[in-house]
Structure 1
Amino acid sequence: MKKVSKSFRVFEVFNYLFLTLVALICILPFVHVLAISLSSDAAANSGAVTFFPKELSFEAYKYLAAKSEFLQSLLVSVKRVILGSIIGVGTTILCAYPLSKENNDFKARKYYVWIFIFAMLFNGGLIPTYLVVKQVGFIDTIWALVIPGAVATGNIILMLNFFRGIPKALEEAALIDGASHWTILFKVYLPLSTASIATITLFTMVGHWNDWFAPLLYMNDTANYPLATYLQNMIQASSLIKDATDPELIKQLSAIGNKTMQSAQIFLGALPILCVYPFLQKYFAKGITVGSVKG
């Protein structure tokens, strides 16, 4: 058996302690928000809630489950994430594959690279972008939230570096067998790039899910707001009760309170991404070319 030195054991202990501390720093604020959302209004406002609910109450979640605006914004967010991820990852793959080739194989490669780098550093500005979106008829449509940011240069650079790490012998063997570039991309490169695709997909999903500013620009109808924009507007509202007219609704909102309601909305807004992440995280540590070339 391999002998482990005392210094390595000390390092291992401190390493585990440090990583545990980092994990707690990331997890505890989320647990705190969950505890507030499950507490009564009086307990939440008194500051007595830490990491466990006080005076357990599910009224905030019952209210949100019955609120049509919340459910509508959730549906818009899901639709945006699905369309945005498909289009974003698709354009990233189609851009990264030719850019991963050598200059001898793709003569105009360096010009396209400079165009993408320029686009990453500079943009047309807020007003010209809005005018373009308006002129193509995307205002108040889901495409205004998906198309303008579909090509992410950072993701393209990450993807083409993964493609460049795949042994060229695989592509040469496929070309000898008569495969086209489409066949090489879909049957050679993509099966070996599940780790990079999962990473790009997660980045794209999180970006679309968390973006609240673009809908404020491109959506005139609040019914088209995704969840992030809806929550941003609700959290900024000074009071939940001031716009209510139904006596039963006023009584219900009085029992919930703003702080409890906002915490419940924040928790529900982050929950879908937290559910998706564990299924994609396992691909991050996998190699993309292990075992691809034999002998």
Structure 2
Amino acid sequence: MIPWYIVIKQMGLLDSLWALVLPGAVPVFSVILLLNFFREIPKELHEAAFIDGAGHWTTLWRVIVPVSTPALATITLFSLVGHWNSWFDGMILMNKAENYPLQSYIQTIVVQRSYSMLSRQEISELATISDRTLRASQIFLGTLPIVLVYPFLQKYFVKGIVLGGVKG
């Protein structure tokens, strides 16, 4: 973790949005998953496309990408959930509380009870709210974007299951 922080600091990314985006832009686990998935695509699909007169780019966009939409949807969902739930990165890489991502901000209020960044009126309003309500709101806000994105990606998961189950 220390070398990771030093690299981000040396690149001048502290207190910027890029400090949260760039380090996790190409997750190694996702690359390995996709690499193994692409290796399992039958070579006959490539050969059939080339016989039909398709070039490399046409084969990629018209054959490989449509076949790999379930894997790409899975990796997209993994990445979205991973970035959305990473409150710790915001705590370390942002020096000012106003630059915190939503998860880091909620974490400081609910878990650490650091009210220093709130106004007096907001603190008095929070005093009337129970801890259970605050935690429930954190869970709701934490899952809402993923719940909204999942229905759009679900058709690719179902398509992948059906394609994998049909033999013949």
User: Where does structure 1 lack aligned partners over 5 or more consecutive residues?
Assistant: 1-125, 291-295
Give the TM-score normalised by the residue count of structure 2: 0.81
Structure 1 or 2, whichever has the larger Rg, is 1
Deviation at 1:173, TM superposition (A): 3.0
User: Where does structure 2 lack aligned partners over 5 or more consecutive residues?
Assistant: 164-168
**Who is 1:43 aligned against?**
none
**Who is 1:179 aligned against?**
55
Q: CA RMSD in A?
A: 2.7
Counterpart check, 1:150 vs 2:41 = no
Give the TM-score normalised by the residue count of structure 1: 0.49
Count of aligned pairs: 162
**Who is 1:267 aligned against?**
140
- Given candidates 220, 224, 232, the residue that maps to 2:107 is 232
Deviation at 1:244, TM superposition (A): 5.2
Deviations 1:65-109 (A, max 9, x none): xxxxxxxxxxxxxxxxxxxxxxxxxxxxxxxxxxxxxxxxxxxxx
The change in CA–CA distance for 1:189 and 1:236 in structure 2 (over 3 A counts) is: same
CA–CA distance in 2 between the matches of 1:173 and 1:235? Answer: 57
The change in CA–CA distance for 1:183 and 1:136 in structure 2 (over 3 A counts) is: farther
Structure having the larger proportion of residues in helix: 2
> Is the 1:194–1:288 Cα contact (8 Å) retained in structure 2?
no
> Is the 1:194–1:283 Cα contact (8 Å) retained in structure 2?
yes
CA–CA distance in 2 between the matches of 1:239 and 1:216? Answer: 12
Counterpart check, 1:168 vs 2:43 = yes
Q: Which amino acid aligns with 2:39?
A: R
CA–CA distance in 1 between the matches of 2:140 and 2:160? Answer: 34
CA–CA distance in 1 between the matches of 2:131 and 2:114? Answer: 7
Alignment of 1:254-293 (within 5 A): 254-287=127-160, 290=163
Percent of aligned pairs with the same residue?
52
The change in CA–CA distance for 1:140 and 1:266 in structure 2 (over 3 A counts) is: same
- Could you list the runs of 4 or more consecutive aligned residues of structure 1 that deviate by over 6 angstroms after TM superposition? none
